[in-house]
Structure 1
Amino acid sequence: MTTLLLIRHGVTAATGRRLGGRTQAELSDDGRAQARRAGERIADLPVKAVYASPLARTWQTAELVGAAVGREPVGCDGLLEVDYGRWTDRPLKSVARTKMWPVIQARPSLAAFPDGETIRAAQLRATDAVEQLVARHKRGVIVAVSHADVIKTLVAFYLSLPLDSFQRLHVAPASLTVLSLSVGGQPALVRFNDDGPLRGTDFRPPARRATAKGRRQ
């Protein structure tokens, strides 16, 4: 069983104001502090590897998290932010006035960003990347530093939620989402959008229960 720790990057100067996309915005001072705290939260866990979207904000977050767990980050293009095309780095107030915005909020499975990516394509890309990481690390704890929309699509996939439900999920900066995964096995969501204290015992597989006939299940 692989324990996947999904961490959203810390804040930048544009967080909450602009649709960042695939820009090279760097972490703000607050974002760096958030990333350090995220690393401190998992410092006692036996992390085998730290993977990250190669954009500046995720890479800087991964470097700070990696320093806390003694791992150098490894780039993973599958964890990249959604390609928002011509919407990249536009003010959120501006894109919220477009005809496409209500579709993106209510029916994201039908949305394609101008000269960019569809949400569905981003979900498939990210899921393929995670499946490869799980196959590479069949046991133990690994970290993947990514972006809010990407993490939301991954949670929707592994919980078998319709993609149109993913906008109902919220992933805060530097928060932790934990999935328990295995190749071909039943996925489990252990924690979501979490910023509380962690212990290694929090990620142990659930104990098997005894049936009336004494068998374990």
Structure 2
Amino acid sequence: MATVILVRHGRTTANAAGLLAGRAAGVNLDEVGRDQATLTGDRLAAVPVVGVVSSPLERCQQTAQLIMERRSGAPLAPPNLDLNLTECDYGQWQGRTLTDLATEALWSVVQSQPSAVTFPGGESMAAMQARSVAAIRRHDAAFEAEHGPGAVWVAVSHGDIIKSILADALGMHLDLFQRINVGPASVSIVNYGTSRPSVYATNTDAGDLSWLSGSSLTGDAPVGGGAGQRAPRT
């Protein structure tokens, strides 16, 4: 299968203020977030990305645009906006501060048993995972069908969305997904393979990614760990 690079949007004004933005309109990257997204774009500049899919929320579109501006070579089509990669519907929690939400009884359930959580007036975390994983696998299959098994593509989304996708790829129950961290503008890498997903990176915000150029990540796992990827370009 193709390889997906999962990118969380850069820091936003809501992140900086400690607010749960949810699906609210008008939440933009702040200066730090723009710098983070630009750095991620620099990391991805050497990768032959064949396409970009993004959550339709402004912060993800802005991150995708900054990534695409750092690319060289043939221009890509504008990002494909997919509602299934949009933020979780936090319902009545949206717009409240995290410190306030931490006093709610539901907060501890979100931390320890997210599969049992349905946000008041919003979405269940199980439904969030189901739609986002299905979307990633659907896009991955489409990119492979069009560009071949060595295709690399980018999905720009949100923290809980990416955590749930990584949990699925790692074979983890949703109740364990809070063990995964996904920082602003971080890069995680998944190849779905022919028999199972393989996770090549999680939550990275630095490091060379040029090894993805011309690299085939399909096949069985190397017993003993294998030789790894080639050295970074200098």
Q: What TM-score, normalized by structure 1, do the two folds share?
A: 0.91
Give the letter aligned to residue 130 of structure 1.
I
How far apart, CA to CA, are the structure 1 residues paired with 2:130 and 2:2? 20
Instruction: Give ranges in structure 1 of 5+ residues lacking alignment.
Output: 212-217
Q: Which residue of 1 aligns with 2:211?
A: 201
How far apart, CA to CA, are the structure 2 residues paired with 1:34 and 1:134? 25
| Partner secondary structure for residue 15 of structure 1 | helix
How far apart, CA to CA, are the structure 1 residues paired with 2:218 and 2:81? 31
Deviation at 1:207, TM superposition (A): 7.4
The answer to whether the 8 Å contact 1:111/1:119 transfers is yes
Q: 1:91 aligns with which of 97, 111, 120?
A: 97
- Deviation string 1:65-116 (CA, Å, 9 cap, x unpaired) is 1222333222111110100001111111111101111011111010000110
Give the letter aligned to residue 9 of structure 2.
H
Q: Which residue of 1 aligns with 2:111?
A: 105
Whose strand fraction is larger, Structure 1's or Structure 2's? 1
How far apart, CA to CA, are the structure 2 residues paired with 1:206 and 1:125? 25
Return closer, same or farther for 1:201/1:121 CA change in 2, 3 Å cut-off. same
The answer to whether the 8 Å contact 1:66/1:73 transfers is no
Give the letter aligned to residue 101 of structure 1.
W
Q: Which residue of 1 aligns with 2:160?
A: 149
Q: Which residue of 1 aligns with 2:69?
A: 67
Q: Which residue of 2 aligns with 1:214?
A: none
Q: Which residue of 2 aligns with 1:6?
A: 6
Deviation at 1:185, TM superposition (A): 2.9
Q: Matches of residues 94-133 of structure 1 in structure 2 within 5 Å?
A: 94-133=100-139
- Deviation string 1:131-171 (CA, Å, 9 cap, x unpaired) is 11011111310000000000000011111101000011110
Question: Alignment RMSD, CA only?
Answer: 1.9
Q: Percent of aligned positions with the same letter in both sequences?
A: 37
How far apart, CA to CA, are the structure 1 residues paired with 2:23 and 2:222? 50
Q: What TM-score, normalized by structure 2, do the two folds share?
A: 0.85
| Partner secondary structure for residue 44 of structure 1 | coil
